[in-house]
Amino acid sequence: MLQLLGEYDCRVDSKGRMRLPTALLDQLQQLGADEFVINRGFEKYLTLYPKSIWEGITRDINRLNVYDKQHREFLRYFFRGAQPVVLDSAGRILVNKRLLDYAGIAKDVILSAVNDRIEIWDKAEYERQLEQEPEDFSDIAQAVMGNRPLGQVTDDAKP
């Protein structure tokens, strides 16, 4: 299972290029990830998917029923803006202006590794999100994870 970790401060230059931090590049290299897809996130951020993860997600999504209106709308919104990106020789990716505008990114960003993908947030927006962290996070954790044995291998986690 692909597992990325960490939060990283980065900058986007005037051409829309962003150099991935060495620590994150090392993790990606160890996992064999050198091709990516970037797309809008569910909130006001961008998501960078290693290509293998994107392909798995799209296999699942392509099973949706195009004759169902809600499915069609999801397909349109999910794929809108998605584009392949590759690392250049300096470890940078090029993010198009439309995606940067969507996420409100001008210069300073936070890359937040979330399991098998990387969220790309405008730094100020990311900090606002952190300030809104719920006081009852333990209640949310109980509701979401309360019935799962943590730290134990479950049938769906076995290799």
- Block means of pLDDT (10 residues each) for the chain, 159 residues, are 88 95 90 88 95 93 94 93 93 95 96 95 93 78 76 51
What are the start-end ranges of the H helices in the chain?
Answer: 22-30, 51-61, 69-79, 97-103, 123-131, 137-145
Return the pLDDT at 43. 92
At residue 28, the pLDDT reads: 87
pTM of the model as a whole: 0.85
Q: Contact, 99 vs 80, CB < 8 A? A: no
**Amino acid (one-letter) located at 40:** R
Domain boundaries, the chain: 7-128
Residue with tokens 């397909």: 75
- What's the CATH number of domain 7-128, 3.40.1710.10, 3.90.1150.10, 3.40.1390.10, 3.40.1550.20? 3.40.1550.20
Indicate if the alpha-carbon torsion angle 119, 73, 94, 37 is positive or negative.
positive
The CA distance from 125 to 145, in Å, is 27
Tokens matching residue 30: 């160890």
Is 100:16 a contact under the CB 8 Å cutoff?
yes
Tokens describing residue 15:
């051409």
